[in-house]
Amino acid sequence: MKSNVEIIRETLEQVVNQKNIDAWDEFFSPDYIARSAPFIGMGYSTNSSESKHVISFITPGGPAEGVLQKGDELLWVEDQEQRWASHEEIAQGIRSYRGSNLKLGVLRGQETLEVELTRDLIQGFDTDNDQAKAEMQEFMTEQIPDLSVEILHTIAEGDIVACFMQYRGTHARFKREAIWREAWFARLSEGKIVESWPLPDIDAYCRQFGYRLISPDT
């Protein structure tokens, strides 16, 4: 019988390094829950094609909830100093806006709207198994298709495995390579992962991909 540490190592090797998303169900329970840590942000993410930036996810309890909707298309992004309107400019604006407020031009169906968001503390939220699997597949195929992970250290106690690892990959849109580390805590039951708490080094990840990190008092 495999140990919990062996299961975690095999999970990362097959799902991430071998890009075998079909192996997910072998390692994760159908009742698996991914639990996120609190963070500061606007509370939305986009799916960006060659011509559009479309809202793909709204963080529960975040500033964007009730303001943006999944499927909204961004037409422009504006802070207190500048407006970004072309496809490439919008990507840059999302990464480098100044201050805590951001105005967005949004196409929702046939209606054009102007909304404003203020970044704020977003409490951690839970992601169920199906959504976590879909997000991981999109992350390692659409966003960072050459994603790889190296396990640096593992500690196991009872049903919990703490794994310290290093990711590496090139962002498909930004054309930049980054290396960042993550501590991943996973609880296993009957040979499957039932819940986990990822703690990635978001600062290193964002800076290497070109985001400007601004102190909260700016």
Confidence of residue 213 (pLDDT cuts 50, 70, 90): low
pLDDT attached to residue 215:
62
52-72 pLDDT, tens per residue?
899 988 988 899 999 999 999
Structure tokens at 181: 């580390």
Q: Does residue 214 have a pLDDT over 90?
A: no
pLDDT at 211: 76
Triad 26, 30, 33: Cα angle to 5°: 110
Q: With pLDDT > 70 as the criterion, what percentage of the chain qualifies?
A: 97
Predicted confidence (pLDDT) at residue 163 exceeds the cutoff of 60: yes
**pLDDT greater than 70 at residue 104:** yes
State pLDDT tens for residues 105-143: 999 999 999 999 998 988 888 999 999 999 999 999 988
- Structural domains of the chain in order of their starting residue, each with its CATH number: 4-37+124-208 (3.10.450.50), 39-121 (2.30.42.10)
Place of tokens 């498909």: 172
Q: What is the SS3 assignment for the chain?
A: CCCHHHHHHHHHHHHHHCCCHHHHHHHEEEEEEEECCCEEECCEEEEECCCCEEEEEECCCCCCECCECCCCEEEEEECCCCEECCHHHHHHHHHHCCCCEEEEEEEECCEEEEEEEECEEECCCEEEHHHHHHHHHHHHHHHCCCCEEEEEEEEEECCEEEEEEEEEEECCCCCCEEEEEEEEEEEEECCEEEEEEEEECHHHHHHHCCCCCCCCCC
pLDDT at 216: 54
- Reported as a single tens digit per residue, the pLDDT across 190-206 is 999 999 999 999 889 98
Joined tokens for residue 173: 């849109």
pLDDT of residue 7: 98
Instruction: Supply φ then ψ for residue 23, to 5 degrees.
Output: -80, -10
| Confidence label for 9 from pLDDT (cuts 50, 70 and 90) | very high
CA 72 to chain centre: 19
Check if the beta carbon of residue 170 is closer than 8 Å to that of residue 155.
no
Distance of CA 133 to the CA centre of its chain: 12
**pLDDT reading at 77 higher than 90:** yes
> End-to-end distance of the chain based on CA atoms, in angstroms?
54
Report pLDDT for 217: 53
pLDDT band at 94 (very low <50, low <70, confident <90, very high): confident
